[in-house]
Chain A
Amino acid sequence: MTAEARYSPAAQAVINDYIDRLKCRLAGFPSCDREDLLREIASHIDEGFAVESGSDEMQRLLQVLRRLGEPADVINERMSPAMVKLGKKKGLPFYILSGVLIALFGLPLGLGAACLVISVLATIFALIVAYFMTAISLLVSGVAGIIVGVLLIADPTIIERIDRALGANIAVTGFPPYLSPQTDAFITVIICAILAGIGALMLWGGRYLLGGIGYLFKISWEKIQETTARHRQSSVAEQSSWIASVSR
């Protein structure tokens, strides 16, 4: 890379500007190619500057850059003939054909795939919501049942008294009448405790469920990113080597 200390700040700024403009022209290139090219041209500038005669630093530098050519010319060198010959490329009808095919079938297929993905995501989301709703309702009704049961054990007449106080009629359906109200309430408490326990267990397990689903999503997201990155890389490489092969 450029040895910073060899140039005055103004000269360094000119070099940086040149390299930046070059970088813009190289936007579509694979990053390793781009870095290598920039490094090579920076090395060329240093070398040319060292060899260039003259006393004025800026004059020497500008002379080197003039001979190097404008970034647009440097990178255009292999693009422009490609454009000229593009129409003559033998495979062109196939490119057009594949374009038409993609437009005809690719788009609907792509939309279909998107719908599929969205519906699967929605289903998973709905399942998660249903799971937690079930857990919470089991827990809440269980706890409420326990409270009612405990109150009944303590005072079997409490319901009637509440009824009277409120002027309402809260019916508690009991077990078969041959059981005493206390036993009745006790069984209620046990059943409700089991329900609440199941609810609590489900909530507790939900953490793992969420974690697992999150993990699955993370993995598939990474896979998607990896695949698209690789695809983009190879298609850019293919494209630039294709352009290069045409430009010969």
Chain B
Amino acid sequence: MNQELENKITQLRKGILELAIMGFLYRETHYGYSLVKALTMGGNLSLKEGTIYPILQRMTREEILDAHWVESPQGPPRKYYRLTQSGRAIYETLVQEFHRLVRLVNAPSASSLIGGCEEVGKELDIRKEGP
């Protein structure tokens, strides 16, 4: 894979990562390690695991997340995260935005986005591509 394409994929993932973190924490409480495992489990997202911690810290500072240390019966203490009230609201807005963007990216044609109005397509002189 060439470098430029790889960069584009990285950029795309970076933007989604935060949303994915919020998605998990919207439904469950996680600590760093369990969150990393949840994110990488399906093999859908590969990331350097450590990179999640600065992101979690920043989101905590932005009061999107709420964190507290809990002693663990097996092993070291864990820092648990959950969404704050404002974090939940932000997530809901972002998810809506995300779905809109997915619809945009997946749209079969421009006219389908503007209520299936064929006239607009003609006016703008849009031609069909591909098979």
Contacts and interface: CB of A to CB of B under 8 A. Distances in A.
A2 interface: yes
B76 interface: yes
A75 B75 contact: no
Contacts of A155: none
A50 interface: yes
A115 interface: no
Interface residues of A, number: 30
Interface in B1-55: 11, 14-15, 18, 32-33, 36, 48-51, 53-55
Given A37-B54, A77-B54, A78-B55, A43 B48 contact: no
B23 to A, nearest CB: 16
Interface residues of B, number: 24
A44 B77 contact: no
A3 B75 contact: yes
A156 to B, nearest CB: 90
B76 A46 contact: yes
Interface in A73-94: 73-75, 77-78, 81
- A interface SS class: helix
Contacts of B79: 36, 39-40, 43
A41 interface: yes
A71 B18 CA distance: 20
Given A2-B76, A46-B75, 6 more contacts: A41-B50, A43-B76, A43-B79, A44-B32, A44-B50, A81-B14
20 contacts: A3-B76, A36-B57, A37-B53, A43-B33, A43-B77, A43-B78, A44-B32, A44-B36, A46-B76, A47-B33, A48-B49, A50-B74, A69-B48, A74-B53, A77-B54, A78-B54, A78-B55, A81-B14, A244-B62, A248-B15
Interface of A: 1-3, 33, 36-37, 39-44, 46-48, 50, 67-71, 73-75, 77-78, 81, 241, 244, 248
